[in-house]
């Protein structure tokens, strides 16, 4: 199988199998530097080869878990095989970021079916909403993660510019929809309140909404620009040249903070570094043990232009389900939840700010989490089904604030 890779709507090159388990990508003869598929893979004459599977940038958005299994069941019988290259060919026309994939000789068609977000938020399908959307959007959902999630396109035209009345219709996906399953009950509401805490901390967060029945979380795509184009997005597995299976390998000091500083634009380094520090501290307070390399990313409008840190995404209190969970990556050589002293040393040694500034950041995070706890309690009273998970979250947040943010 040979796949054509597109960057910003232009054919960049061809991707195919090489040897028994590897793949190779070769840029088209007319490709220029702006057609690079990744800031880690500049345009060159020689092909970019991967000995095992896909290069990280091509593997980045491959579905996992329920979505991958659904696609395997639907297409394996027809294709006779179902490896990562097959999966990329299926979901390649609709991806997070600027890359798209088609058959070698096909034209690029990014059209995704319509789905009203307002209807979705108000829908109560007795637990069948995910199955309904899965049947409709699975093949359009090039988005990674084990949690069930899909890419959909809202029926409402997207605002295209600053002038009043200027609008355009977007053919690609406009939102990510996440669901919870029985294994992790109330996961959508869990993430909703974690994102609320991040928002109160002043961290960059895309617009997000919880459905009326609490089963779905709808998030605006932060990689969709107002002119209808998609921004470049690369996660930290890509920046560290690691496969998805290695997303839990590395430290926050090196694999996240240092790597960001290597790739970020000079005028984004200070702001982005502080944001990374605050994200790490917030993850510790919320007890999010899944802040791995794929849950940090960079964004850019032009691969030769400014590179900035991506907004916060995939933020969940994992210890509400796995009480003994620890951090996804190491800090100070350990995956144990950091103390306030360790965060203070980390922030000052890595030149995030002065000791006084770091303490102020940790205090602001604690205050934001406390304020969100009050909102979470109100939701528990209004939605009895959330009470058990909400109670666990509150206990974990209290412990997180006590040990990681307050001496």
- CATH number (domain holding residue 201): 3.30.200
Q: Are residues 248 and 350 in the same domain?
A: yes
Q: Are residues 176 and 238 in the same domain?
A: no
What angle is formed at CA 248 by the lines to CA 291 and CA 193, rounded to 5 degrees? 15
Q: Are residues 253 and 374 in the same domain?
A: yes
Residue 311 lies in a domain: yes
Residue 112 lies in a domain: no
Residue 59 lies in a domain: yes
The owner of tokens 């690369």 is 234
Residue 110 lies in a domain: no
Burial class (CB in 10 A: 0-12, 13-18, 19+), 209: middle
Q: Are residues 216 and 239 in the same domain?
A: no
Q: Which residues of 9-32 are buried (b: 16+ CB within 10 A; e: fewer)?
A: eebbbbbeeeeeeebbbbbeeebe
Taking the C-alpha atoms of residue 73 and residue 157, their distance in angstroms, rounded to an integer, is: 34
pLDDT per position as a tens digit, 280-302 = 999 999 999 999 999 999 999 99
- Please report the pLDDT score of residue 79 as a whole number: 63
Residue 108 lies in a domain: no
How many structural domains does the chain have? 3
Q: Are residues 370 and 394 in the same domain?
A: yes
Q: Are residues 127 and 49 in the same domain?
A: no
Residue 227 lies in a domain: no
Q: What's the average model confidence in pLDDT over 252-281?
A: 98
Final residue belonging to a domain, choices 196, 220, 244: 220
Expressed in angstroms, the distance from the first to the final Cα of the chain is 58
DSSP 140: G
For the cut 50, the answer to whether the pLDDT of residue 127 exceeds it is yes
Cα of 1 vs its chain's centroid, Å: 28
Final residue belonging to a domain, choices 220, 251, 271: 220
Q: Are residues 187 and 239 in the same domain?
A: no
Q: Are residues 371 and 257 in the same domain?
A: yes
Taking the C-alpha atoms of residue 277 and residue 77, their distance in angstroms, rounded to an integer, is: 47
- Domain that residue 279 falls in: 232-405
CATH number at residue 286: 1.10.1070.20
pLDDT per position as a tens digit, 199-245 = 999 999 999 999 998 989 999 999 999 888 999 999 999 999 999 99
What Å distances lie between residue 19 and 16, 51, 90, CA to CA? 10, 8, 22
- Please report the pLDDT score of residue 126 as a whole number: 56
Q: Are residues 378 and 259 in the same domain?
A: yes
Q: Are residues 211 and 238 in the same domain?
A: no
More confident residue, 164 or 362: 362
For the cut 80, the answer to whether the pLDDT of residue 80 exceeds it is no
Of 232, 282, 293, the closest CA to residue 96 belongs to: 232
Q: What's the average model confidence in pLDDT over 137-165?
A: 75
Minimum mean pLDDT among 132-146, 184-198, 320-334, 335-349: which range?
Answer: 132-146
Token pair recorded at residue 131: 């199955």
Final residue belonging to a domain, choices 103, 129, 151: 103
Taking the C-alpha atoms of residue 255 and residue 233, their distance in angstroms, rounded to an integer, is: 17
Helix, coil or strand: residue 130: helix
Q: Are residues 240 and 381 in the same domain?
A: yes
Which residues, other chains included, contact 314 with Cβ-Cβ below 8 Å and sequence gap of 6+?
145, 147, 191, 290, 295
pLDDT band for 75, please (50, 70, 90 cuts).
confident
The owner of tokens 């007319």 is 30
Residue 318 lies in a domain: yes
Q: What's the average model confidence in pLDDT over 63-88?
A: 84
Residue 225 lies in a domain: no
Taking the C-alpha atoms of residue 13 and residue 40, their distance in angstroms, rounded to an integer, is: 16
What Å distances lie between residue 339 and 91, 248, 284, 285, 373, CA to CA? 42, 21, 9, 10, 21
Q: Are residues 319 and 190 in the same domain?
A: no
């Amino acid at each position: 199988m040979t796949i054509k890779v597109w960057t910003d709507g232009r054919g960049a090159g061809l991707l195919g199998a090489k040897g028994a388990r590897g793949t190779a990508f070769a840029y088209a003869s007319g490709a220029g530097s702006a057609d690079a598929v990744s800031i880690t893979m500049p345009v060159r004459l020689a092909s970019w080869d991967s000995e095992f599977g896909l290069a990280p940038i091509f593997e980045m958005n491959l579905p996992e878990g329920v979505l991958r299994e659904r696609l395997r069941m639907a297409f394996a019988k027809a294709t006779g095989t179902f490896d990562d290259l097959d999966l990329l060919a299926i979901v390649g026309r609709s991806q997070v970021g600027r890359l798209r994939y088609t058959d070698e000789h096909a034209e690029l068609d990014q059209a995704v079916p319509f789905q009203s977000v307002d209807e979705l938020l108000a829908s109560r399908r007795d637990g069948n909403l995910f199955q309904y959307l899965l049947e409709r959007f699975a093949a359009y959902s090039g988005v990674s993660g084990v949690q069930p999630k899909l890419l959909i396109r809202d029926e409402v035209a997207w605002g295209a510019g600053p002038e009043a009345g200027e609008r355009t219709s977007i053919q690609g996906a406009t939102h990510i929809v996440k669901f919870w399953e029985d294994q992790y009950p109330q996961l959508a509401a869990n993430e909703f309140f974690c994102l609320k805490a991040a928002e109160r901390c002043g961290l960059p967060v895309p617009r997000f909404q919880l459905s009326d029945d609490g089963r779905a979380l709808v998030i605006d795509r932060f990689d969709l620009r107002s002119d209808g184009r998609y921004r470049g997005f690369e996660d930290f597995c890509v920046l560290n040249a690691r496969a998805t299976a290695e997303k839990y390998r590395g430290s926050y000091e090196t694999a996240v903070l240092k790597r960001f500083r290597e790739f970020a634009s000079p005028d984004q380094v200070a702001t982005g570094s502080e944001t990374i520090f605050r994200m790490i501290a917030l993850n510790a307070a919320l007890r999010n043990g899944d802040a791995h390399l794929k849950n940090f990313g960079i964004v850019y409008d032009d691969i030769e232009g400014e590179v900035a840190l991506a907004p916060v995404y995939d933020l969940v209190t994992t210890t509400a389900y796995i009480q003994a969970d620890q951090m996804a990556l190491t800090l100070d050589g350990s995956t144990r939840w950091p103390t306030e002293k360790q965060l203070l040393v980390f922030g000052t040694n890595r030149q995030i700010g002065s000791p006084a500034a770091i303490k102020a950041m940790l205090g602001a995070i604690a205050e934001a989490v406390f304020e969100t706890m009050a909102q979470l309690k109100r939701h528990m009273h209004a939605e009895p089904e959330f009470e058990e998970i909400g109670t666990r979250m509150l206990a974990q947040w209290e412990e997180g604030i006590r040990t990681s943010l307050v001496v």
